[in-house]
Amino acid sequence: MDPEKIKKLRSIKILVSEVLMVFIVIITVIILALIVSGYWVNSEFEVERQGMLQVSSVPTGANVMIDGETSWLQRTNTSKVLATGEHSVTLTKEGYDSWSKTVNIAEGLLYRLHYPRLFLEDRVIEKSYYLPETTFATISPGSELLLITNNTTNWQLINLTEENLKPRSIDISNIFQSVSLTPGSTIGLFTGSIIDADWDHDETRVLFKVQNDTQIEWVLLDVREPQNSINVTREFGSNFSNIQILDNSANNLLAIQNGNLHKIDVSGKSLSAVIVERIVDYDHYENEIVYVSQQPESELTPMYEVGLTKIGDNNKTTVFHIAQPVKVALLKFYDQKYISVLKDNHLTLHNKDNIEETTEYTISFNPANMKVGHDGEFIILSESNHLATIDMEAAKAIEWQIENVNYDWLDNDMFYDVSEGDLIVYDYDGLNRRNLAKNVSNHFPVTITDNKWLYYFSDDYLVREWLIKR
């Protein structure tokens, strides 16, 4: 055969193969893009758009059953495409209890189940430390540190991540005004009553609100370097009705003084000019503040303004006016920020960038409190032992009741309460109720540290239970 013809044929073959490869790549990319977007071929060979379920668990490696059947989604920490509609999800693991929930899969959307927790059934229990005369205890946000107070000026800090717990003493005699020092004694008396304690994100400082005989005292206690603590009341005055930590290290605070909102620069020891006058309620996310302020009375009724501002920015943006006071919160879910407004038993979520875009929920009771959960994934509304969870992932409200009013957060996604000595835990939507321990004190906090230990108080002891197999 003519060599030139051979070259031409080879060139044509190469060109055809390259075009074919490009075509295959394009088709593959399109198919993958459609799969990622939720499109799938069903058993009748029809193309339909589905959704995706992503499941994680603590501990990892739990078995996953969908609608009562085990499929190729065998273990947690993976994803699966599912038909739209409701599906039951059950997680099991040998030696642990089980977890289950019904989820609603929407077209082209990802539904995340990242919070399921399975508890070891046969747990090792240790009485870790004897703590008589404890009056108050508070646990840091990351559940690493436990601060224990008593009626003396010698408090104790325990690192819960250590295998062998070794409390460290903190002398608070020169930090709080609510102390009594007897001449010649090494330890004084703490005479105040702790109303509240709030940690910073970095777990170095705790903001205390203390009632003494004459006033409310606010103190920012540095648990690692107590000499760097600041008595806010002593430094800036005694007429603060509310103070909140503004940033991760508590270098800045937001404070209401004489009804007006200010910023306190802790390191610079300065109080800013008024940020918002006649403040009724407020919340912040990073340096942004949503607020409710009372406007001067009109001829008919008082008016309240819901607005937005930023720290360091004198400009304010009015969101809307309303004829009665409301509760507000500012949250971020995925990449979108929302303003949550609670009026009586009606909650409205406003898209921060487009206030007109709203989602509304009505519940059966009037909440006294509103709290945004971890990463903005849910909003908890509560009144006594009645709760309502606004599930941002599922876009629905779930109402439920807890055993009693002595409840708190066990971790970022679970509640606990202590009823007649029984420690009972719930998911943030009230599901997967489980009884974990008995003879538990309801006066002190409960927590989980490093996903390894469950800590609680019992008969003047700090008790530790192992949550993993040893």
pLDDT in tens, the chain (470 residues): 566 665 566 666 666 666 677 677 677 666 665 555 555 555 555 556 688 899 999 999 899 999 988 765 567 777 888 889 999 999 999 999 999 999 999 888 888 899 999 999 999 999 888 999 999 999 999 999 999 999 999 999 999 999 899 999 999 999 999 999 877 777 899 999 999 999 999 999 999 999 988 889 999 999 999 999 999 999 998 789 999 999 999 999 999 999 999 999 998 999 999 999 999 999 999 899 999 999 887 656 679 999 999 998 888 999 999 999 999 999 999 899 999 999 999 999 999 988 888 899 999 999 999 999 888 999 999 999 999 999 998 899 999 998 888 789 999 999 999 999 999 999 999 999 999 999 999 999 999 999 999 999 999 999 999 998 87
Residues 6+ apart with CB under 8 A from 80: 52, 53, 55, 66, 71, 72, 73
Burial of 216 per CB tally in 10 Å (0-12, 13-18, 19+): middle
* pLDDT given at position 233: 94
Residue with tokens 């605070």: 253
* pLDDT given at position 422: 95
What's the CATH number where 104 sits? 2.60.40
Structure tokens at 12: 């044509």
Q: Is residue 296 part of a domain?
A: no
Q: Is residue 64 part of a domain?
A: yes
* pLDDT given at position 42: 53
* pLDDT given at position 403: 81
Chosen domain end from 95, 113, 131: 113
Q: Is 144 left (phi over 0), alpha (psi -120 to 50) or beta?
A: alpha
* pLDDT given at position 182: 76
Q: Is residue 50 part of a domain?
A: yes
Distance CA 353, CA 337 (A): 8
The phi, psi pair for 385, rounded to 5°, reads -100, 15
* pLDDT given at position 30: 63
Q: Is residue 249 part of a domain?
A: no
Chosen domain end from 85, 113, 141: 113
Domain extent, residue 22, equals 3-36
Q: Are residues 30 and 44 in the same domain?
A: no
Distance CA 148, CA 251 (A): 23
Residues 6+ apart with CB under 8 A from 235: 269
Burial of 63 per CB tally in 10 Å (0-12, 13-18, 19+): middle
**CA nearest 209: which of 138, 141, 260, 266?**
138
* pLDDT given at position 374: 82
The answer to whether the CB of 423 falls within 8 A of the CB of 437 is yes
Q: Are residues 94 and 78 in the same domain?
A: yes
Q: Are residues 52 and 32 in the same domain?
A: no
Q: Are residues 52 and 24 in the same domain?
A: no
Q: Is residue 68 part of a domain?
A: yes
Chosen domain end from 98, 113, 128: 113
Q: Is residue 48 part of a domain?
A: yes
Q: Are residues 62 and 7 in the same domain?
A: no
* pLDDT given at position 15: 62
CA 60 to chain centre: 21
Distance CA 272, CA 373 (A): 30
Q: Is residue 84 part of a domain?
A: yes
Q: Are residues 99 and 77 in the same domain?
A: yes
**Structural domain total, the chain:** 2
Query: ω into residue 59 within 30 of 0, thus cis?
Result: yes
Q: Is residue 154 part of a domain?
A: no
Q: Are residues 58 and 100 in the same domain?
A: yes
Distance CA 356, CA 89 (A): 36
220 forms bridges with which residues in the sheet?
A: 207, 230
